[in-house]
Structure 1
Amino acid sequence: MTGRVFHTSDWHLGRQIGRHRRDAEFDAVLAEIVEIAADFRPDLIVHSGDLFDSSRPGLDDIVRAAQTLRRLEQVAPVVVVAGNHDTRNVLTFLEFILNDMGRQDRTQARVRFATDARPDGLLIAEYPAADGESTIRIGALPYLHPNRFAYDFADPATATAAYAERMRAVQADVHQRLTSGARPDHLLVFAAHLFVEGAVPSRSEKPISIADDYAVVAGALPGVVYGALGHIHKPQAITSAPFPAYYAGSPLQLDFGEINDTKSVVLAEIAPGREPRITTEPLTSGRRLVKLEGTLDEIAQRAGRVGDAWVKAVVKAEASNPHLGETLQKMLPEATLVIIDEIRPGAANRVLDRSAAAEELPGVDELLRSYLDDRGTSGVGLDRVMAAFGALCDEPDPEAPSPCCEETLLSAAIAGSGLDGIDRSGLLTAIPSPEGVR
């Protein structure tokens, strides 16, 4: 008796890199995922959470998800677990669209969504394996925000317990429902979107969601034949779990913390009473993320090997270079410069006390450049903005003429200095004569 599970996760549709959308890359990697799934011929496809990057995804990303799930359901039934970036309303709408506008029986739908972790809302489903002898029985646990325990679960004691302890009780409930009524031919699969103790994050996840207080003890996970985990973007096995459990990871490198990660999907052949056969199939679609660090000369030596990639450049320089973005772009004609950091000796420890070191204060142009760079404007675009700013600074302001004599006189009177020290020669000629006063 064997069953096949195809495991993918954390698509994060809509995720940008800097200010750049990655629609073409997502289309390519999703097509690759569908192709691998078709070749594997699984009995069940599991997506373990975070279909989208935003809780309010754009229409293009909703359509992209719907079309891909429709293609996957033609390969095998699909179970999608809600992640911390997903919202119940969006996934319910997707289910409505994929379920023939609500005309099909939800329990018979080819794509089902696990969005509720409450006991009466948990998704426990069965799917027959192709061998005709076994059935895959899956229990799915969507992401649970710590605040949800205060109003979604009846036991008051869970409101003050540590997150990991509360999750242990929820997992125990999933396990109890998963195993209740299970037959010898059932292959039990646990799918969840959560941070398991011992997992290695890529640091492209939301920092608060991978804090130590949110780490679930691996030993508390239900003892099943395969665990399909989501939430961590780095593909990996959780060796401390009492059963084979894997993070499929994100299909694209999502930021420069993942430049060394090889993205993949998981192919699991499972059977009762023996270790599953696990294969991770690499994904090759998408542009590379490259970090270049050094002086301009050192970066120039590596530039020829970069090619078509997203690039973060950390440039060590003795002095500020107003045309740094343009210079780098000429070195890297096929690449897209996402981040440019200019590192100068002593710049990080600059004294900002004017009385102590006036010459060390950054100028307005330098402050503006730093601000724009932090806000995502970099490269050639940043150079053009700074050039325009410089041109504006050089132009006289027609709305701010030199102070007239009356203004000078009034300012002196307010200051209590009288007319001492004021040049009266021009002042007297500018004051109207008594004849001119009405």
Structure 2
Amino acid sequence: MRLLHTSDWHVGRTFHGRDLLAEQEAVLSGLADVVVTDRVDVVVVAGDLYDRAVPNAEAVQTCARVLSRIRAAGARIVITPGNHDSAARIGVFGEFTAAGGLHTRTRIAELDQPVLLEDAHGPVALYGIPFLEPEPARQALGVPEARGHAGVLTEAMRRVRADLAARAGTRSVVLAHAFVSGGASSDSERTITVGGVQDVATSVFDGVDYVALGHLHGPQVLSERLRYSGSPMAYSFSEARQVKSVWLVELDEGGLVGVEERELPVPRALATLSGALEDLVRDPAHDAVADSFLSVVLTDPVRPLDPLRRLQQRFPHAVHVEWKPAGGRAAEVRFAVRGRSDDEVACCFVDDCRGERPNPREQALLREAFAAAAREAQ
């Protein structure tokens, strides 16, 4: 049996305010080509199918088209929800969609009830562990003493192994959405630190043939049988150097045979630039990133007016700008107060913090305060 391990689709996510649905559909629809080329039997999604618990209609329609293409290519699909998803919404029609080859595993009480699929060597049990919010999961699993995410996942895997023990000779795959020790995070993951414990030890997942992890957005190998596929696209500039991919997992009659990487296309590259605004918009050396999503650090000694609009005239996909003057913040402050009276500096400070200048009565009080301070200093 061949499985394609994916996760963290985050359909409906935006990138610094830019809609990504077209790019997401292009990349995710390409999974259907992998299914055909590599004769994939099952595509798994280990959490965060959507970016929001209540996705908008366009995101749902995009996801439906992608799943339909994968199914039409010949693969069955198994999905479990992550910390961004609504388990109830994803699983609401699960009993009906299973008949068409789309299996959802969303209920905590049923996490030890696998999707059973057959190949020439017999059954393969695919267990979907939905993201376990510690407090409700403790109650649902009947382990009030369990501590944090690690505690409830430990109980979940105990139940999985108990079920598997009763299925002699059955190969096994677990889908789980968690932060496992040894994984490297990026800026685009929402923290799942709850109940004081975030990391989950790799040993929690002992006893199964393959563990398809979700949550971390970079593809990572914690062991031969324990991996993160990562997100199919970059969702923060911290992921700019990641090679986005999915894992092609093969099982034979004895269990895991091997895992191969399949790289995914990049719909729009990410890049960063740093320098003075005028230099950036004029220098032809930056033509190579003109079509990239761009994050820019401006080093001008004075904050430029409307810098993002200026940048977008040259770089239409510039989406993020910071101002870090070359001389540091102190140089900025010295420039701002140079040649101004104490009264003018105070008025500008109030205006900057409050959004409006001091009224005449407030200005009079400030002048009195400065005069009093000057008398005390004499």
Instruction: Please state which band the TM-score falls in when normalised by the shorter chain.
Output: 0.7 to 0.9
CA gap of 1:364–1:59, structure 2 versus 1, over 3 A, is farther
SS in 2 for 1:68: helix
State the 1:364 CA deviation. Answer: 7.8
Paired position in structure 2 for 1:57: 55
Alpha carbons 2:12, 2:20 under 8 Å: kept: yes
Paired position in structure 2 for 1:152: 140
State the 1:301 CA deviation. Answer: 5.4
Alpha carbons 1:138, 1:178 under 8 Å: kept: no
Paired position in structure 1 for 2:131: 143
Give 2:157's match in structure 1, choosing from 161, 171, 193. Answer: 171
Give 2:107's match in structure 1, choosing from 116, 140, 145. Answer: 116
Distance in 1 of aligned mates of 2:83 and 2:93: 17
Give 1:347's match in structure 2, choosing from 329, 333, 339. Answer: 329
More strand by share: 2
Give me the TM-score of the superposition, normalised by structure 2: 0.82
Distance in 1 of aligned mates of 2:111 and 2:254: 30
Which digits, 9 at most, give the CA deviation of each residue in 1:2-33, with x for residues without a partner?
A: x2111111110110012211121011111211
SS in 2 for 1:214: coil
CA gap of 1:60–1:323, structure 2 versus 1, over 3 A, is closer
The residue type paired with residue 258 of structure 1 is E
SS in 1 for 2:5: strand
State the 1:152 CA deviation. Answer: 1.6
Distance in 1 of aligned mates of 2:173 and 2:160: 11
Does residue 1:200 correspond to 2:184, yes or no?
yes
The residue type paired with residue 160 of structure 2 is V
Distance in 2 of aligned mates of 1:357 and 1:81: 62
Alpha carbons 1:226, 1:276 under 8 Å: kept: no
Number of aligned residue pairs: give it: 352
Distance in 2 of aligned mates of 1:209 and 1:310: 30
State the 1:70 CA deviation. Answer: 2.2
Alignment of 1:275-286 (within 5 A): 276-286=257-267
SS in 2 for 1:115: coil
Distance in 1 of aligned mates of 2:191 and 2:214: 15
Q: CA RMSD in A?
A: 3.4
> Structure 2: any 5+ residue segments left out of the alignment?
361-378
> Identity over aligned residues, as a percent?
26
Distance in 2 of aligned mates of 1:141 and 1:328: 45
SS in 1 for 2:64: helix
> Structure 1: any 5+ residue segments left out of the alignment?
100-105, 372-388, 394-401, 403-438
Does residue 1:78 correspond to 2:77, yes or no?
yes
State the 1:95 CA deviation. Answer: 3.7
The residue type paired with residue 115 of structure 1 is T
Alpha carbons 1:42, 1:76 under 8 Å: kept: yes
Distance in 2 of aligned mates of 1:355 and 1:222: 70
The residue type paired with residue 206 of structure 1 is R
Which digits, 9 at most, give the CA deviation of each residue in 1:146-183, with x for residues without a partner?
A: 2223432223323xx34313321221111221332232
Q: Larger radius of gyration, structure 1 or 2?
A: 1
The residue type paired with residue 313 of structure 2 is K
Alpha carbons 1:225, 1:272 under 8 Å: kept: no
Does residue 1:262 correspond to 2:250, yes or no?
no
State the 1:94 CA deviation. Answer: 5.6
Paired position in structure 2 for 1:227: 211
Distance in 2 of aligned mates of 1:339 and 1:172: 45
